[in-house]
Amino acid sequence: MTHHRSTWRNRWTFMLATAGSAIGLGNIWKLPYMIGVNGGSAFVLVFIACILVVGIPLMMTEILLGRRAQKNPFNGIEALAIEAKASPHWKLLGGMGMLTGLLILSFYSVIGGWVLYFITEATKGSFVGIEATQSTANFNNLLASPLTLLFWHTVFMCLTMGVVARGVNSGLEKANNILIPALFVILLILLGYSMSVGDMQAAYHFMFSLDFSKITPVAVLSALGHAFFSLSLGMGSVMVYGSYLQRHVSIARTTIYIALADTMLGLLVGLAIYALVFANNLAPNAGPGLIFQTLPIAFGHMPWGSLIATLFFMLVAFAAWTSAISLVEPTIAWIVENTTISRKVSATTLGFAVWLLGIAVVLSFNDWQHVKIIFGLNIFETLDKLTSTILLPLGGLLMAIFAGYFMKRDHVQDELNLDNRGFKLWRITNNYISPIAIIAVFLYLFGLVK
Ligand code: PHE
């Protein structure tokens, strides 16, 4: 079956769309609390190393797979495997990625819902003059109300599927152009405020002091997983966006810009948050509620606070929205390219399934808090850990092996179009360093190496 495939209007829109996938709750909500839970700078250092050594080469790999295949991840990897005379079963890798995306979306949407709720709180002026205890209490009240969480989870899912139903190119491209730069701008305002009232020195020390002795195996594991999550790697999002990318665009340069923007944004949010955490004597290891407890305090005391808070949470919601779309796009592309089912019907059906799973996530913050799945983790934590620390790195590992050891070297070089030195560097990281790093972490995870 042949379909007309749309392509991005130019490199800038591809870059913004992929940056839109990468930049999301992972940077603004997850990275800050992961830093706190995993001991500050120990985590930050390993995270940066993982982005540079594993994330950047693997992002290049994923884009090249997508652009060469020109298809959804499932059929795409199958086609590439046939081209390389490898087993067509490699397509299962694409299938695993699609499933991973849907699992992530089930909790991503619930957190996206928290952000939407916070927009309404900001517009009502609820943060004005708020202190730490009140802010924490507000957040805990939200978690204790399954119906409120469910309502906002539902709204977030509808917003996501509404766009997905209409296709990749319409609307999003244009919005991305303005809103991602706007997110950076408002973040700088927040950072400026944090610098003036917060304890920036303590934040800096907490995040960047060079103390290798604090690096624990768990921090390494979480940092690697988060590098994948943050760059949207290992599940086919980047691959499917790459499949809409025009041939003449440089994959390496585009990747580096995206990775830098994504990482910088996360670290800036981290600094802004921790400056406030230390100035207000809050706990750095508060977990998933961290930004929702600290930021209202800052907004509540700054001039124009309610307005800035509203804008901030709106931009975060937008960032989350563009990421959420990329979580389902591989599966939708697969359905649309293989069946006669329309985008609308597939988006509605998939959206409903993910929404149902999201209800379990909603309940894991209140009524089912004590329902443990494995290793004492509740439903939300299980989905989060399973996807970030296992499925995404596993997907990335297999993509690296496929591109590095199964595809023809010429074909890879054709797509990457690097000079000799660049190509060598990519090969060493893709073929040796990244796989070894991921396998080492897995061996530790499964208790084979103590
Ligand atoms: N990278 C997104 C974020 O940081 C999340 C995401 C993960 C999106 C995997 C797509 C695929 O929020």
**Ligand 1 in reach of 104 Cβ (< 6 A):** yes
Model pLDDT, residue 2: 42
Decide: residue 36, CB within 10 A, 0-12 exposed, 13-18 middle, 19+ buried. buried
CA-to-CA distance for 351 and 376, rounded, in angstroms? 29
- Tell which atom from ligand 1 comes closest to the C-alpha of 392: 9
**Ligand 1 in reach of 232 Cβ (< 6 A):** yes
Nearest C-alpha to atom 4 of ligand 1 is from which residue? 26
In this predicted model, what pLDDT tens digit does every residue of 42-87 receive, in sequence order? 899 999 999 999 999 999 999 999 999 988 899 999 999 999 898 9
Angle between helices 172-197 and 200-208 (to 10 degrees): 110
CA 81 to ligand 1 centroid distance, Å: 26
Q: How many CA atoms lie within 13 A of 69 on its CB side?
A: 31
**Ligand 1 in reach of 327 Cβ (< 6 A):** yes
**Ligand 1 in reach of 25 Cβ (< 6 A):** yes
**Residue 158 tokens, joined:** 């509808």
Dihedral of alpha carbons 326, 151, 287, 128, sign: positive
Q: Angle at CA 26, nearest 5°, toward 216 and 113?
A: 130
- Tell which atom from ligand 1 comes closest to the C-alpha of 25: 12
**Ligand 1 in reach of 326 Cβ (< 6 A):** yes
CA-to-CA distance for 278 and 202, rounded, in angstroms? 7
Q: Which of 327, 387, 388, 399 to mutate to test the pocket of ligand 1 (most atoms within 8 A of CB)?
A: 327
For 113-135, the DSSP string reads HHHHHHHHHHHTTTTTT--HHHH
Model pLDDT, residue 358: 97
**Residue 16 tokens, joined:** 């913004």
- Tell which atom from ligand 1 comes closest to the C-alpha of 324: 8
CA-to-CA distance for 395 and 384, rounded, in angstroms? 15
In this structure, which amino acid lies at residue 103? L
In this predicted model, what pLDDT tens digit does every residue of 323-356 receive, in sequence order? 999 899 889 989 988 999 998 999 999 999 999 9
Task: Return the residue matching tokens 């530790």.
Answer: 444
Burial 277-297 (b: 16+ CB within 10 A, else e): bbbbebebebebbbbbbbbbb
**Ligand 1 in reach of 27 Cβ (< 6 A):** yes
**Ligand 1 in reach of 378 Cβ (< 6 A):** no
Name the pTM for this structure.
0.92
Task: Return the residue matching tokens 């996501």.
Answer: 160
- What is the residue-level pLDDT of the chain in tens, covering all 450 positions? 344 555 655 666 777 778 888 999 999 999 999 999 888 898 999 999 999 999 999 999 999 999 999 888 999 999 999 998 989 899 999 999 999 999 999 999 999 999 999 999 999 989 898 988 999 999 999 999 999 999 999 999 999 998 888 875 555 666 777 788 888 888 898 899 888 888 999 999 999 987 777 788 888 888 999 999 999 999 999 998 888 777 778 889 889 999 999 999 999 999 999 998 888 888 888 889 999 998 898 888 888 888 888 988 998 998 899 899 989 988 998 998 899 999 899 999 999 999 999 999 999 999 888 888 877 889 999 999 999 999 999 999 999 999 999 999 988 898 888 888 999 999 999 999 999 999 988 888 777 665
